[in-house]
Chains A and B, each alone.
Chain A
Amino acid sequence: MAATKHILLALVEDKPGVLNRMASVFRRRGFNIQSVNVLETIETEDSERPGLTRVAIVVAGSASMVGPVRKQLEKIVDVVKVSDISTRDEV
């Protein structure tokens, strides 16, 4: 299957090590991450709680490879949600 560019957009807890956990999922399968962007933290109303951050990861791979990776990213406890926004229609 052809490798196409995928943009995975993740909503994660703003804690140390989250990026490491996410990167590990790609590394294990030998994926080369093309770019990573960590966006600004969204503060929660409860000041005791860590905020949430968006992480955008660009990788090249077939849909059958990126699909399972997306699910494994969502398994990470600190990761709230992951969407593959490359499959969305251009706005």
Chain B
Amino acid sequence: MSTAVSADSSGKPQTINLEDLPLAQLQKIKTQLEEELNSLTGAFSQMKQAQSAFRECKNCIDEMTPESKDKTIMIPLTNSLYVPGKLSDIEKVVVDIGTGYYVEKSAKDAASYYDSKIEYVQDNAKKIQQTVEQKQASYRGLLEIMQYKLTQQQRQQQQAEANKQPGTTAKAR
């Protein structure tokens, strides 16, 4: 997702000093930033979930040692229904490679497949985290500017009131 902070009639985004913008517009940018931050943190936790799912697969492969051959296991038919079975082949596994395709691999290949997946997801998570940090920094900056503008506005108002009625002190509202 890209953010053109502002695009004028010429259509090309310009860098505009945030301090020059009116508060209403800053408010808009703030909501936009909040939305982006939300979706990014959501994506980040999805990455973490995917990573732990791959880790679990990898662990299962590592658990299948030569000793586990011919051992009786319970095979889940559904989440709550199991039948007994025997591990007849510990050399070959079938791996989900996405979009409904599955590939038969040796246990060793499958383990390295999951390793590369974990790394891939890790890279993505890192990238997302970097973007999140950047966005958070600009979000904090934006908040500061808004705060500054708000106090300035209040001060101006107070001054205007004081000028209008020189006799009375600024009334508390």
Say if A and B assemble together: no
| Chain A contacts to B: CB under 8 angstroms | none
